[in-house]
Amino acid sequence: MRIALGVEYDGTRFHGWQLQDGVRTVQGVVEKALASVADHPLRVHCAGRTDAGVHAVEQVIHFDTHSQRLPKAWVLGSNANLPDDVNILWAQEMPDDSFHARFSAIGRCYRYFILNRNSRSALLAGRATWVHRPLDVEPMQIAANALLGTHDFSSYRALGCQAKSPVRTLHRLDVSRRGDLIELRVEANAFLHHMVRNLAGVLIAIGKGDADTGWAQDILEMKDRTRGGVTAPPDGLYFNRVNYPDQFVLPHIAERHPFTD
């Protein structure tokens, strides 16, 4: 059977999602915990890989197994074997002939948090990106609006990005402020490597007044990463939610967030 799970994690002490020799990864600890419940080695597949330091409110994964367990057993048994910076939120059996955590996804949502005040925060260290210079969210939103739609996002992906095509459809890029906390909500059909962090870096520069609102679109049209802005830190980035076709009903809970909702 194929089991889908929702996973949350604090990426601060991980070298990203994907398995790597000799370093601590989210995939590594999750597979080890699930294998202890399944009583056999297994391989998990995720909706979208995250980099070192990036968090997840609700990453979606799946694995295949012949072991018969109730959904509650997958959750409780795995969490009993996971470190305190990773947690299984839910488990659900899925049709193994049609569901795939990555390839069935039709949209992915990220949230990026910026702490905008004079002093850094001990409580949000590693969980929000600190910018001490005042940011004006109005020009940031104007610049963001110009990036919506289907474009070649070559200027907004990492130089080492391995995606076959740089074309993505950006459905949402909202900038909002609540007190000292600025939030970017970003939704697209899929994302390129470092795409959200590069978008955030450009919008932060515009919010500081270091560039005008047209700069974001100018960079887009160059289709050249070497002409782009600074990649924002991973601290404030959260993989928030995955969207699937209506035929796949999953118990999403990701609209909540631990320090904003």
Identity of the residue numbered 184: L
In the set 51, 152, 180, 218, the catalytic residue is: 51
Cα–Cα dist 9/14, whole Å:
9
72, 168, 212, 248 from 4: Cα distances, Å? 13, 26, 44, 11
Q: Tell me the three state secondary structure of residue 8.
A: strand
Q: Tell me the three state secondary structure of residue 57.
A: strand
Q: Where are the alpha helices (DSSP H) in the chain?
A: 26-38, 71-79, 137-145, 195-208, 215-222
Cα–Cα dist 165/115, whole Å:
33
Q: Tell me the three state secondary structure of residue 11.
A: helix
Residue 204 β-bridge partners? none
238 is in an annotated binding site: no
Residue of 49, 42, 46, 45 whose CA lies nearest to 15: 49
Residue of 180, 89, 84, 79 whose CA lies nearest to 131: 180
Cα–Cα dist 69/201, whole Å:
45
Q: What angle do CA 72, 58, 48 make, to 5 degrees?
A: 120
Cα–Cα dist 84/72, whole Å:
19
Is 212 known to be catalytic?
A: no
The annotation places the binding site for substrate at 110
The catalytic site residues sit at: 51
The annotation places the binding site at 110
